[in-house]
Amino acid sequence: MISGILLLKYGATIENADASEIIISEKKRADFYFQIKIGEVKMFNLNEQGKEFVQGIFYDGESFGEPPLLGDFKYPASAVAVKPTELYKLSKTKLFELLVDNPEVNLKFTKALAKRLYYKATILKEISVHPPEHRILALIDFLKNKYGTEELFQVELTRQQIADLTGQRVETVIRAVKQLEQEGELKLIKRKVFR
């Protein structure tokens, strides 16, 4: 997360995206840095049969789609606004200027990438060698670590979203979650909310 003031200083614009509006299209070139001011964005892949895989969900203050900016390759996934969203949008060249001028921001940026990498390595591991329930727990542990506090952790995810994040089908997730609840591994506070 780069401060809004700094972004604006380097010429960032503020863009609005309606819910369901596509912000980034897979296989397109990467020309801009995006950071969420308020809202929610997901990056996803879709195959021909309409099966979706969600690479990540991003909230206030988070950026997304940075790797292709640095590596000069095409976007491996698309981004869509989940809710009405306000975004900072900064050109690639301006972002580079900003990073060069501000080493401490640069470091933060690199750290954010490192975290993302960790997440992907974790999910890859889960998908490749662990069964459905384990994957769900791993996802929740990760999110807890990212967004939660010691005492309480709440995150709103539908079972469909969990499925899309862990490469499974809704029905499978529903059954697995139910089993985990019975085993006491997981607790549902109310609809969609985990502790």
Residue ranges that bind its own copies, judged by CB under 8 A: 45-47, 51-53, 55, 66-71, 73, 76-77, 100, 103, 106-107, 109-111, 113-118, 120-125, 127-130, 167
Which amino acid is located at 132 in the chain? P
Q: Which is nearer to DNA, 30 or 157 (CB)?
A: 157
Q: Which is nearer to DNA, 48 or 150 (CB)?
A: 48
Binding site for DNA (CB under 7 A): 49, 51, 131-132, 158-160, 167-172, 174-175, 177-178, 190-192
Q: Which is nearer to its own copies, 103 or 184 (CB)?
A: 103
CB of 60 to DNA, least distance (A): 19
- Packing angle between helix 103-129 and helix 159-166, nearest 10 degrees? 90
Q: Which is nearer to DNA, 30 or 143 (CB)?
A: 143
Which does residue 159 bind out of DNA, its own copies, none, counting CB within 5 to 8 angstroms by kind? DNA
Which does residue 67 bind out of DNA, its own copies, none, counting CB within 5 to 8 angstroms by kind? its own copies
Which does residue 47 bind out of its own copies, DNA, none, counting CB within 5 to 8 angstroms by kind? its own copies
